């Protein structure tokens, strides 16, 4: 069933939360991003000796008052044993987003109309790793009863619903690095179709562990040439890029039906006007020629928004700092045609690294803040583009520009693509 | 208080994240100390590890209070 823009309910964003390599809290992270700061450093979670990649974007530790993370300020040590780090991250971002939205359902009907859809690419990898070691040591009968609920991806949505009493649709998305955008897009659809009035949606990831880094090293996807200069490692579109830098964290938004938000006087960041999806049907890890899947996802998003490419002022690229960057660029150029000349497109992964299943969620948030502040966040380290383009890729420093409509791209292993379009209200 | 009782109390405080003063002998894990069924499974496993005893499922089901746990472990250790 296809719904045109005219016969479906409008969906707006009324709350946001981020925890990631640039720290804790949306305003803190956004101001550091705009200032051109990087969240990439040498890995501290474990000793990466013996692996080719030594850099990642880890959440900085410290007090919340300084925009840093102290897990026990958020989650009791009792509950930490029941939640892998990716669940903790998702809970923290969801807590910030729900508080920011001011939405507190007061009736059973309102609780049943409020749902949760927080995805992840990988889930509780470190928990699975540690528990496997225990089993390998012959201690299978000592596996914690919290092992399974700590590792399952949909338990983020479960915990958030339990914490707040949100009894509406409870769902989770798993589409690798597209999980965050898919979660927000699918949740927006649930509201547009009238199946809920409010959805808490986003993505979370915590795979900066030895198994996670080793696994992505084996796919040859990670940067390995900048171990001594970590802040230079994530360099989308630059000719010296040599792979992505893994980040950890979570991004969560509160989506709300427009009239519902207006009636309670909620602050509105932006409207979700378009969402498009596609599959490559090509290769498990590499994008198809000319990034045709990206092209079709963006085209589908434009169609659902009922706008043309020339209406878009800013694109937050998937741009992971791999060879695929130029394919996405090519697809965007093809889609935008002449209007590419007035377009700004940046990759905020240059500052945050690639948060896998959380990437699409934090980047959707950045796209909405770009609209709010009329600022295009920069692409760090873009010293020498490997491919020239008429598109302004906002190298090194943020730009003040008129931004009313923004598109955010996310693509995942398996050949899954998603594009989200947001507009000023 | 016996050494076993002390250790049991410590494990309960740590695993259930409750104040030490609440962990009285009569306190029920579920009714008074906020545990759910999975918490009690984990707690019994922690007792088994700490005291190097086997607590079979039918015995574990009867351990509802702090005193139940202490009594069971003391009996096992004495045997």
CB A300 within 8 A of CB A307: no
| A347-367 residue pLDDT tens | 999 999 999 999 999 999 999
- Which two tokens mark A284? 């498990």
| A407-422 residue pLDDT tens | 999 999 999 999 999 9
Contacts of B42 in chain A (CB under 8 A): 81, 144-146
Catalytic residue among A53, A88, A177, A209: A177
Give the per-residue pLDDT at A1.
39
Give me the interface pTM, i.e. the ipTM.
0.86
User: Could you give the C-alpha distances from A336 to A105, A333, A345, in angstroms and in order?
Assistant: 42, 5, 12
Q: Is B6 a catalytic residue?
A: no
Cα distance between residue A419 and residue A417, in whole Å: 7
**Phi/psi-derived region of residue A85, left when phi > 0, alpha when psi is between -120 and 50, beta in every other case:** alpha
Considering chain A, what percentage of its residues have pLDDT values greater than 90?
97
Q: E strands along A196-313, which residues?
A: 198-205, 249-257, 270-279
| A105-155 residue pLDDT tens | 999 999 999 999 999 999 999 999 999 999 999 999 999 999 999 999 999
**Best mutation target, B33, B39, B52, B56, to test chain A (most A CBs within 10 A):** B39
What CATH number is associated with residue B15? 1.10.1200.10
Cα distance between residue A235 and residue A216, in whole Å: 18
- A263 Cβ neighbours under 8 A, 6+ residues apart: none
Nearest to A291 by CA among A329, A235, A240, A249: A329
* Structural domain of B67: 1-76
Q: What is the mean pLDDT of residues A165-176?
A: 98
Confidence label for A389 from pLDDT (cuts 50, 70 and 90): very high
| A225-251 residue pLDDT tens | 999 999 999 999 999 999 999 999 999
Cα distance between residue A417 and residue A412, in whole Å: 6
Using the predicted structure, report yes or no on whether residue A31 has a pLDDT greater than 50.
yes
Look at A146 and B38 and tell me if their CB atoms are within 8 Å.
Answer: yes
- A371 Cβ neighbours under 8 A, 6+ residues apart: A269, A270, A314, A403, A404, A405, A406, A422, A423, A424
Catalytic residue among B6, B31, B32, B36: B36
Nearest to B12 by CA among B54, B73, B56, B59: B73
Give the per-residue pLDDT at A7.
78
Q: What are phi and psi of A290, to 5 degrees?
A: 65, 10
Q: What is the mean pLDDT of residues A175-202?
A: 98
Contacts of A80 in chain B (CB under 8 A): none
Confidence label for B79 from pLDDT (cuts 50, 70 and 90): confident
Q: Quote the mean pLDDT of chain A.
A: 97
Cα distance between residue A244 and residue A176, in whole Å: 14
Q: Do the bridges between strand A23-24 and strand A11-20 make them parallel or antiparallel, or are there none, so unpaired?
A: antiparallel
How many domains are contained in chain B? 1
Q: Do the bridges between strand A375-376 and strand A399-400 make them parallel or antiparallel, or are there none, so unpaired?
A: antiparallel
């Amino acid at each position: 069933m296809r719904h045109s823009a005219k016969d479906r309910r409008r969906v707006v964003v009324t709350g946001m939360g981020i925890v990631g390599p640039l720290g804790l809290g949306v305003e803190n992270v956004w101001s550091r991003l705009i200032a051109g700061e990087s969240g990439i450093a040498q890995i501290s979670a474990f000793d990466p000796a013996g692996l080719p990649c030594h850099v990642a974007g880890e959440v900085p530790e410290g007090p919340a008052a300084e925009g840093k993370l102290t897990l026990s300020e958020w989650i009791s040590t009792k509950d930490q044993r029941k939640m892998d780090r990716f669940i903790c991250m998702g809970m923290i971002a969801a807590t910030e987003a729900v508080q920011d939205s001011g939405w507190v359902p007061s009736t059973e009907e309102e609780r049943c109309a409020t749902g949760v859809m927080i995805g992840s690419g990988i889930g509780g990898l470190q928990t699975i790793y540690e528990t496997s070691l225990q089993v390998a040591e012959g201690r299978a009968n000592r596996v914690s009863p919290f092992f399974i609920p700590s590792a399952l991806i949909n338990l983020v949505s479960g915990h958030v619903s339990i914490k707040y009493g949100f009894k509406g649709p409870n769902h989770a998305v798993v589409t690798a690095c597209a999980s965050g955008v898919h979660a927000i897009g699918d949740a927006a659809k649930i509201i547009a179709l009238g199946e809920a009035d409010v959805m808490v949606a986003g993505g979370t990831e915590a795979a900066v562990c030895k198994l996670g880094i080793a696994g992505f090293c084996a796919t040859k996807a990670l940067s390995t040439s900048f171990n001594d200069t970590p802040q230079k490692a994530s360099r989308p579109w630059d000719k010296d890029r040599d792979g992505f830098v893994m980040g950890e964290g979570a991004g969560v938004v509160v989506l709300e039906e427009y009239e519902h938000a207006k009636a309670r006087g909620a602050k509105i960041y932006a409207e979700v006007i378009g969402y498009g999806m596609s599959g490559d049907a090509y290769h498990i890890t590499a994008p198809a020629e000319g990034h045709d899947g990206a092209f079709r996802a963006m085209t589908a998003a434009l169609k659902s928004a009922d706008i043309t490419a020339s209406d878009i002022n800013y694109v937050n690229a998937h741009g992971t700092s791999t060879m695929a960057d130029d394919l996405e660029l090519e697809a965007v150029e093809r889609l935008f045609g002449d209007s590419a000349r007035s377009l700004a497109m940046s990759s905020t992964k240059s500052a945050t690294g690639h948060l896998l299943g959380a990437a699409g969620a934090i980047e959707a948030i950045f796209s909405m803040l770009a609209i709010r502040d009329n600022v295009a966040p920069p692409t760090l380290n873009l010293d020498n583009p490997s491919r020239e383009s008429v598109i302004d890729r906002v190298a090194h420093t943020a730009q003040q520009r008129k931004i009313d409509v923004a598109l955010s791209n996310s693509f995942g292993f398996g050949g899954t693509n998603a594009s989200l379009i947001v507009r000023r209200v | 208080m016996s050494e076993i009782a002390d250790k049991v109390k410590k494990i309960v405080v740590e695993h259930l994240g409750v104040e030490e003063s609440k962990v009285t002998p009569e306190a029920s894990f579920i009714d008074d100390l906020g545990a759910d069924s999975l918490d009690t499974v984990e707690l019994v496993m922690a007792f088994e590890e700490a005291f190097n005893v086997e607590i079979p499922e039918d015995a574990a089901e009867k351990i509802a209070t702090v005193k139940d746990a202490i009594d069971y472990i003391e009996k096992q250790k004495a045997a």
